[in-house]
Chain A
Amino acid sequence: MKSKANKGGSRWNPARWWTARSRPDEEDKPLEALRFVVLDTETTGLDPERDRMLSIGAVRVHGGRILVKEALELYLQQEHFNRKSVPIHGILREGTHPRIAEAEALRLLTDYTGDSLIVGHHINFDKAILQRGLYRQGMQPLRNTCLDTGLLYQNTLLKTPLLRKKEFYSLDDLARRFDLPRTDRHTALGDAYLTAMALLHILDLLKGKGIHTRKQLLKAGRVG
């Protein structure tokens, strides 16, 4: 998987990344200049300790655009298998997609994300299950800053006592709000794409709330 981050020779490196982040010009970077990787994982269940990833989908958002060619779609070989999740994800143990080992998938993913901001809908779960996988494979944990579209969306809402905000906005809520097609729900890349589209809408709404820089964005939607 070739990515722009790799061209600069900046394969993800925590040390480099920390120094980059602390630079003040980095903090003030406008939203348009930020690199996002929007990702979603499909898993065998909701327990990061016990459950495993079935597939990972990710898209790159840069300069307000989603680059179709650079979408990442990985299907993982399964040892652990939870029959109950099949009806939701439609991923069978022996699917038609070529499958790769978890270690390989995680390596491809960390290469792909580089030092981008990682975005996801309720990303805490995806992050937990990814970290668990990285740990299992004896790899470095993800150190990227993570943003949650659920949290970011909360910040776009009107601040008024009249609006009873939900505690939890689902991806379907966002899709309805932004009128996005839900054809590929519950596939990793489909959800990642839907989340990326939602992110583009949200970023615009946030600008209306006076959020223009990386620093302000992190304040609004950073998790973990």
Chain B
Amino acid sequence: MSNLISERVADFLRRYPPFEELTALDLERLSLEVEIMYKEKGGYVFREGEDTHPHFYVVNKGAVDLRRTETGEMVDICDEGDIFGLRPLMAGDQYRLEARAREESILYAIPIESFRPYVTTYEEVGNFLIESFASNTRNPYSKEHAGVLVSGEAVAAKRAPARFSELLPVIPTKRIVSCNPETPVWEVAALMTEKNVGSVLILKEGLPVGIITDKDLRNQVVVGRHPISAPASEVMTHPVLTYPQRLTITQAQLAMMKHDISHLCLTEDGTPDSPVTGILTKYDLMLALGNNPEVLMRAIKRTRKIKSLKPLRGQIAHLLQGYLEHNLPMSIVMKIITELNDACVKRVIALSLKKEGPAPVGFAWLSMGSQGRGEQLLQTDQDNALVFEPVAAQKLEATRSYFLNLAERVTRGLRSIGFEYCPADMMASNPEWCLSLDAWKEKVGGWIQNPGADQVLLSSIFFDYNLTYGKSEPVRELSEFIFEQVGEHPAFCGHLASGALQNPSPTGFFRQFLVEQDGKHKDFFDIKKRALMPLTDAARVLILSHRIKGINGTAERFEKLAELEPNNRELFLSCSYATKALLKFRTKQGLRHGDSGRFIALDGLSKEEKVKLKRTFKTIKEVQELLAIRFKIATFPI
């Protein structure tokens, strides 16, 4: 007996080993026994040391992390169709790993008692299990790790990619192949062939005096300038350019470019007068550079399926982590990461357009909020809007429905690669946010002319828009319209400013942190609402009142303001600094906890971190006071 649900379960399982081996009837029977469960992001399926469940699990949708609890070491990431938690059941063991949902996931729990008979009756199923267990043990990372069951290549492919590495120290080849100045060239060549290297160092009393590369052999010997019996000293390139062992990858690249060489000789103190410690080749560098923004960018542009952007987004997160660990300037980090995120969004739109067919008129896809400001470092919500060029009235409905369909496809695609839906539905797939240029003008004009609380809030989100994809003309026209309107309705800035002062204060009367009172994040500090938003809002209204276009980033806006108002220079520069510091803080927190970093557990912070945070609060207070005075807002308690 089967039912509609068990048929769907069977349809899914049939696509993956070892279930593909089962006969239709057996699979039908097994599917009937399945329990379907939902795990929220971060939810535990089982914990290390826990007694085994009567089920093992197959990922139907989403992904599950398998880690060692103590070290947090990631052993494997299981995604669609992967089995986990089976080996301890077969071995009658405890769970040796913890399994947590990496993202919202749907799992099939299969009772081991229903599955066990097939292990013996089907040779292929048994073999599959043996092979998977074995290939896992072969893998140094998952030695003795019970609970994992995926094929060997999959494990290798899914292993976390190398971190961002331009600033990492280079890892030179330690195995140095060397000879004396007197060694005949043919012997040198034989040595190179034997050791399978492209260069040999010529050492005299342990110090490098020259180097012979493949190129030297070609240019000096093969062309007939020297006989093969000539001593190495006559053929070698000298003096050797030596470098210190603590070289970053970028430095090494520069050195190779500058001297047009492909091998660097590293010595103890960087001079030719100290012993050689290693050789660094171009190949070593290329290996290390497996993960850099350029490579990622190229990969993003080459994707043919939205789905394949997802792992790249993971690599972007790794890149970000590397940047932060190496304390790169926040403004550069933001630019690079924003570019990469933007490229992903662009790619999703381009791929969706291909499916949906060409657009009937020109349009622009706008990113709003943090993405529009270029401050979206972590995977947070998507806020977007769509504006299309005016069309004739009779074509309006058809045009709108085309763009709504397109937007629906894009937002769904974005969600599938980790941009969550906007909880307030501010997305281009919402008919309110997918309008013709004229309709947008009318809408935005309405906000500016009658600024109530809602209109101010809407403006504050919308006005940070940035063109992500499509034509720039409608966007420019809209921007000009906004500035015109703001000029005609000076009261609007006042409302916007008073909106900016509505944000709750970060600290209480006794300068203690104010934490959330209830809800999911009770007792957490909301860094977005209490610290970042006041700055963002202040920058927006000030820059708008100066009628400056085209600067969207909060930090950049403050820098511009510092330039425009020399008397407030100090304050604005410290605002800019505070913004960057807070963003960095939030990003680090987010990476540490695998979330948006918005809610911070105060007891997890060091004393130093708390002091740093509090220092930014003083700046926030000062800029709020400035707003209150400038825009004559009486209600703000100074």
Residues of A bordering B, CB below 8 Å? 57, 59, 64-69, 71, 73, 157-158, 160-164, 176-177, 179, 183-184, 187, 189-190, 193, 197, 200-201, 204, 207-210
Q: Nearest chain B CB to A213's CB is how many angstroms away? A: 15
Q: A162-B454, A163-B424, A179-B412 are in contact. Are A71 and B520 (CB under 8 A)?
A: no
Q: Considering only CB atoms and an 8 Å cut-off, how many residues of chain B contact the other chain?
A: 37
In angstroms, Cα B104 to Cα A208, docked, is 14
B residues sitting closer than 8 Å to A (CB atoms) are 3-6, 8-9, 31-38, 40, 61, 104, 106, 109, 408, 412, 415-416, 421, 423-426, 432, 453-454, 457-458, 461, 518-520
Collect the chain B residues with CB atoms within 8 Å of residue A162's CB. 424, 426, 454, 457-458, 461
**Closest 6 pairs (CB-CB, A-B):** A200-B38, A66-B36, A208-B520, A158-B423, A65-B35, A204-B40
> How many whole Å from B396's CB to the nearest CB in chain A?
21
A64 touches B424 (CB 8 A): no
Query: CA A197 – CA B8 in complex, angstroms?
Result: 13
Closest beta carbon of chain B to A184's beta carbon, Å: 6
The answer to whether A68 and B31 have CB atoms under 8 Å apart is: yes
Whether B457 and A210, one on each chain, are in contact in the complex, defined by CB atoms closer than 8 angstroms, is no
Which residues of chain A come closer than 8 Å to B415, judged between CB atoms?
179
**B4→A164 contact, CB < 8 A:** no
Question: B432 and A59: CB pair below 8 A?
Answer: no
Decide: A161 and B38 in contact? CB cutoff 8 A. Answer: no
Taken together as a complex, chains A and B put the C-alpha atoms of A193 and B106 apart, in Å, by: 13
Say how far A120's CB is from chain B's closest CB, in angstroms. 16
A179–B307 alpha-carbon span in the complex (Å): 14
Residues of chain A within 8 A of B40, CB atoms compared: 204
Query: In the complex, which residues of chain B have a beta carbon less than 8 angstroms from the beta carbon of A197?
Result: 36, 38, 106
B37 lies within 8 A of A66 (CB):
yes
Q: Which of B8, B34, B426 contacts A183 (CB 8 A)?
A: B8
What are 20 inter-chain pairs, A to B, with CB distance below 8 A? A59-B5, A64-B38, A65-B35, A66-B36, A67-B35, A68-B6, A71-B5, A71-B6, A73-B4, A157-B423, A158-B424, A162-B457, A179-B416, A183-B8, A189-B3, A197-B106, A201-B38, A209-B520, A210-B518, A210-B519
Point out the residues of chain B lying under 8 angstroms from A210, CB to CB.
518-520
Q: Which residues of B contact A187 (CB under 8 A)?
A: 4
How far, in whole Å, are A209 and B518 apart by their CA atoms in the complex? 9
Complex CA distance for A190 and B4, rounded to whole angstroms:
7
Expressed in whole angstroms, the Cα–Cα distance for A65 and B104 within the complex equals 15
Other contacts beyond A160-B424, A201-B38, A209-B520: 9, CB < 8 A: A65-B36, A66-B37, A158-B423, A162-B424, A162-B454, A179-B61, A189-B3, A197-B38, A201-B104
Which of A66, A158, A179, A207 contacts B35 (CB under 8 A)? A66
Which B residues touch A65, using CB under 8 A? 35-37, 109
Q: Tell whether, in the assembled complex, residue B424 and residue A68 are in contact, meaning their CB atoms are under 8 Å apart.
A: no
Residues of B within 8 A of A193 (CB): 4-5, 8
> A71, A161, A184, A209: which contacts B453 (Cβ < 8 A)?
A161
A179 to B454, CA, bound (A): 30
Residues of B within 8 A of A177 (CB): 421
Cβ-closest chain B residue relative to A188: B4
State whether A64 and B37 are in contact (beta carbons under 8 Å apart), knowing that A161-B454, A208-B520, A209-B520 are contacts in the complex. yes
Within the assembled complex, what's the spacing in Å between the Cα atoms of A130 and B8? 27
Cβ–Cβ contact A69 & B32, under 8 A: yes
Question: In the complex, are the beta carbons of A68 and B32 less than 8 A apart?
Answer: yes
Q: A162-B424, A176-B412 are in contact. Are A71 and B3 (CB under 8 A)?
A: yes
A65 to B39 alpha-carbon distance, docked (Å): 10
Contact B4 A71 (CB under 8 A): yes
Report whether A184 and B4 are in contact in the complex, using a CB–CB cutoff of 8 Å.
yes
Question: In the docked arrangement, what's the CA distance between A71 and B8, Å?
Answer: 13
Q: How far is the CA of A176 from the CA of B411 in the complex (A)?
A: 11
> Please, how many angstroms separate the alpha-carbon atoms of A193 and B8 in the complex?
11
Query: A residues within 8 A CB of B416?
Result: 179
Residues of A within 8 A of B35 (CB): 65-68
Cα-based distance from A208 to B38 in the complex (angstroms): 15
Measured between C-beta atoms, what is the minimum distance from B306 to chain A in Å?
Answer: 13
Cβ contacts under 8 Å, B31 to chain A: 68
Tell me, in angstroms, the Cα distance from A68 to B421 when the chains sit together: 30
